[in-house]
Structure 1
């Protein structure tokens, strides 16, 4: 008789959760807000960039990555990053605050969670 590789649903969920937690612990993981990820008013590249900005904001509460850095990470041109940062700002999902550091112009990108909460109200489950 052939052994089955199948397991019940509960075991499958536990194995997945365990493997996922181990992966998260050993690798940097990006988390995208579901409402933003599926927002048809945003282009797909803007959604991906927004997810990266959130990930880079976790430590300090803002993202200070340059357009060149973001372009290299996403394997796109600098002008592409400029375009999608502007899109996210126009949609009020981020704000930029310029500052000078070591005689160089920099910026802080802040994720606008208050705006996200207004724009994407929590879905109410009905049973």
Structure 2
């Protein structure tokens, strides 16, 4: 009696935890995440300027994200770059992704002079 009762409880608990993780993962995946280049495209920045200034804008955005989230890093994903010398198919790099509604996107773009004109009407800093 005791051995059977002991073995069933952990299995049931493990199943409950597994179901909770599955639900949390589904909820997390429903949230749309964007790369900096996608966000700058949504703002209306030309593609040649995104190629030139997107990396610097990303640095300002990640600094704003860290400041707002107690030094935590944003999620990462991989992105294929455009073809270049030595990499005819491009190469894979790691880039940060953010929620579409993340205030760090607008705050970071507002602090960088090349992207600030695109977010002037959208971002109002806290007083």
Both structures adopt the same fold (TM-score exceeding 0.5): no
Larger relative contact order (Cα-Cα within 8 Å, sequence gap ≥ 6): 2
Structure number with bigger Rg:
2
Structure with the bigger percentage of helix? 2
Query: When the two structures are superposed, what TM-score results if normalisation uses the length of structure 2?
Result: 0.28
The two structures have a TM-score, normalised by structure 1, of 0.28
